[in-house]
Copies of this chain bind each other. A is one copy, B any other.
Amino acid sequence: MKMIDSGVCAAKGFTANGVHCGIRKSRTKKDLSLVFSEQPASCAAVYTTNLVKGAPLKVTKAHLADGQAQAVICNSGNANTCNANGIEIAEGMAALTAQALSIRPEDVVVASTGVIGEPLNLAPIEAGMPELAAGLSADGNQRAAEGIMTTDTVMKEAAVEFTVDGKTCRLGGMAKGSGMIHPNMATMLVFITTDAAVSPAMLQQALSTDIQSTFNMVSIDGDTSTNDMVVVLANGMAGNAAINAEGPGFSAFMEALNTVTVALCRMIAGDGEGATKLLECKVTGAANEPTAKTVAKSVICSSLLKAAMFGADANWGRVLCAIGYSGADVDVDRIDVSFRSPAGSVAVCQAGAGIPFSEEKAKLVLSEKEIEILVSLNAGDFSATAWGCDLTYGYVKINGDYRT
């Protein structure tokens, strides 16, 4: 398996495009994206657990009941959520897409992202559809990745090439996610395409398993979005014998999927609203996996620690504090903590108590762009990683005046 420089068009038979149709005011910002598969594809998805669910999510869920899809339409600038006519608009988006591509509306995945509670007008989407569909191309992945961005500052794409059953397969994805991100099922918009042949059931199993250690382990601000979903389309055009059960093919597919999802997780966390640093909390030595995950997430979610990391302040007491209130059953007196980055590593806490360390060295380590917070519970063999970012003036600025 190898990483390749691509996204949703990496796999055979997938084309994509992104345009500005007028939902967002700024003409320089794309706001409508389309991904299309030449052939109908197996499709699996996971959705936010928020009780407030965006209308697009409800429509998509209904469309994917048969495990099949052929296109994804996604707008930014408006979440089409908490609107009286939301379902109608989301179905309208699917119908317009189906018409433009000559496919069934039920094979369209609909997604929206942006402000909640402001009615979404179908007119600009209708007006933009001809250009959007006409511009579909095998190198349109970046345009599509751009069209789903909201407060994202960078496009998020990743892709791999791998082998199943002697056939070369590809899997690539794009993600949108910057704020309102907290581990609870899918908590961002992620669209992944592959030309591997995978049955809908195995595709769902792969995705549902994978997100437990990837998208569910990312938190920007503890707010679980209302609209988010992770969708995988597998069109089978690589020509492998379809993956219908566990085995070497499924394992290879899982590995490819995980490589792309971890890459996207790191991009999402590193591009958290206002973030200047990617934080990775790596917990080892846990007595069981839930404990490892709970501890890693609690650390990554601590506003106090996130602010300290912004200030490059080795305030490790906040790491212990976050572990202590995580709800996990841990022996505090066995915990070791250290910080690591490209500038080196510095141990700050051993057996639950502070140890002398060089503040100067710690400052250097914590001044890097990617910081690892290493927590050893010394109680077993389980481990987990969670991803987050620092809490900055930028986060407050972005969210203090999001709508205007």
Interface membership of A141, Cβ < 8 A: no
Q: Chain A interface secondary structure, helix, strand, loop or mixed?
A: loop
Instruction: Identify which of B308, B317, B321, B330 contacts A399 (C-beta below 8 A).
Output: B308
Q: Which of A380-404 contact B (CB under 8 A)?
A: 391-393, 395-404
A110 to chain B, nearest CB (A): 19
Q: Which residues of B contact A81 (CB under 8 A)?
A: 317
**B317 near A82 (CB under 8 angstroms)?**
yes
- Is there an interface contact between B321 and A116, defined as CB atoms closer than 8 Å? yes
By size class, the interface of chain A is: 35 or more
For residue A391, which residue of chain B has the nearest CB? B396
Interface string of A42-60 (1 = CB under 8 A from B): 0000000111110000000
Contact call A182/B325, Cβ cutoff below 8 A: yes
Are A82 and B396 within 8 A (Cβ)? no
**A321 B396 Cβ-Cβ under 8 A:** no
Which residue of B has the minimal Cβ distance to A307? B399
CA gap between A79 and B180 in the complex, in Å: 33
Given contacts A84-B353, A321-B226, A325-B223, contact A303 B399 (CB under 8 A): yes
Cα A222 to Cα B305 with chains together (Å)? 11
Q: Are B82 and A320 in touch, CB under 8 angstroms?
A: yes
List chain B residues, Cβ under 8 A from A225.
321
> Is A322 in contact with chain B by the CB < 8 A criterion?
yes
Distance in angstroms between the alpha carbons of A353 and B316 in the assembled complex: 44
A333 to chain B, nearest CB (A): 10
B-facing mask of A218-240, CB < 8 A → 1, else 0? 00011111100000000000000
A393 neighbours in B (Cβ, 8 Å): 393, 396-397
Contact flag A321-B52 (CB < 8 Å), given A117-B316, A316-B117, A354-B118: yes
Known: A310-B396, A399-B311. A52 touches B324 (CB 8 A): yes
Q: How far is A52 from B313 in the complex, measured between Cα atoms in Å?
A: 20
A173 within 8 A of B: no
> CB-defined interface of A92-131 with B at 8 Å, one 1/0 digit per residue?
0000000000000000000000011111000000000000
How far is B394's CA from A400's CA once the two chains are assembled, in angstroms? 13
Query: Contact between B117 and A325 (Cβ–Cβ < 8 Å)?
Result: no
A401 in contact with B311 given A317-B79, A353-B82 (CB within 8 Å) = yes
Answer whether residue A199 sits at the interface, using C-beta atoms and an 8 A cutoff. Answer: no
Q: Is A245 in contact with chain B by the CB < 8 A criterion?
A: no
> Is A304 engaged at the interface, CB distance under 8 Å to the other chain?
yes
Whether A318 is near chain B, meaning CB under 8 Å from some CB there, is: yes
A46 to B332 alpha-carbon distance, docked (Å): 21
Q: Mark A156-191, 1 if CB is under 8 A from B, else 0.
A: 000000000000000000000001101010000000
Interchain nearest-CB distance for A341 vs B (Å): 17
